[in-house]
Amino acid sequence: ALPMVTVVVGCKSEDGVISLLTTAIEADEPRCLEFPVPSKVNPLNPGVPRWANYVKGIIQHYRARPLTGFKAVIASDVPLGGGLSSSASLEVAMYTFLQQICPDDGDLVAKAQTCQKAEHTFASVPCGIMDQFISVMGRKDHALLIDCRSLEVTPVPLTDPNLVVLITNSNVRHTLSGSEYSTRRSQCEAAAKALGKESLRCATMADLEALKASLDAEVYRRARHVITEIKRTTEAAEALKTGNYGQFGKLMVESHCSLRDDYDVSCQELDELVVAAMDGEGVFGSRMTGGGFGGCTVTLVETTAVEKTMQRIKDRYRGTATFYITKPSPGAYVMKLSGF
């Protein structure tokens, strides 16, 4: 749902073999591999290369059968490891390709859930549903409010031509991100259990404060981030609906501070980028995005202030940043190739 894309191009084959090739130079070797179409007797399993696990997971868990053999090439300009949903982009693109050679029932929620399941089981990443949902259901010129409890989605217009979302890639990735994600999730589950709630979505700050003395200090801070972030998210959607970009930006900054101080997933580079972005006119808000410990920030900025904002960041950031000037774009869709 960004202007950057992952594309899968391919066709059926009659030999019962799946042939995959990725053009991503960052991908681990080999970048080309073949394996038989999975069956109940011979299911697919994760292995090497790592990039193929995301694809294998989609093939294994695909919701329609029987699958045939196919040949496919994967190309992407979504930055890997930048917190911009490159894995979900790959999963959803592959699922969308499979829908063309073996149609399923078209259920979008089930499609996103299958992509999430593939990441859980084949990439061993216990991710939430947000990245897959936006990659499946993104709508041009809209943000998407996702209710992870009911799995309802609400498009929120972001059509003002005077606004852009500036993505700034710190171009750093600290090695903590993978293990720390699982740790944060288990801490949140521990907090919910202590509160007697199914999840922290069902808890309030009053619930949390009542048990503060009995909770581990770190678990308390993790829960405080989640509970306050849920409130900020619903408030941000309302602000966007009414065009209150100042309030929306304020909530973005509050979100970053909470991710930094309570959830403890920011890093010095991301903090520098947010501070530099905010220290100028025409900028409404900025925050880290993705799993943290590096990757990208997102900044809501007036179109006329983009160039100055980027230059200010270049001047103040100790590293080398990469910029993407974006608008909300469609989720996955099909392009038919004629003449092939």
State the catalytic residues: 131
Q: How far is residue 259 from each of residues 152, 225, 229, 264, measured CA to CA in Å?
A: 25, 7, 9, 6
CA neighbours within 13 Å on the CB side: how many for 156?
20
Contacts of 314 (CB under 8 A, 6+ apart): 321
Q: CA 315 from chain center: how many Å?
A: 29
CA 227 – CA 232 distance, rounded (Å): 9
CA 55 – CA 86 distance, rounded (Å): 12
Own/partner long-range contacts of 301-309 (Cβ < 8 Å, ≥24 apart): 301/163, 301/164, 301/165, 301/166, 301/277, 302/162, 302/163, 303/161, 303/162, 303/163, 303/164, 304/162, 305/280, 305/281, 306/164, 306/166, 308/280, 308/281, 308/282, 309/166, 309/277, 309/280, 309/282, 309/283
Residue 104 CB neighbours (<10 A): 15
**Structural tokens at position 155:** 């498009």
Query: DSSP of 112-130, one letter per residue?
Result: HHHHHHHHHHHS-----SH
Q: Any idea what the Cα angle at residue 264 is, between residues 226 and 273, rounded to 5°?
A: 105
| Residue 200 · residue 116 · CB < 8 Å | no
Strand ranges inside the chain, DSSP E: 6-13, 17-22, 32-36, 69-76, 142-147, 152-157, 163-173, 283-289, 294-302, 322-326
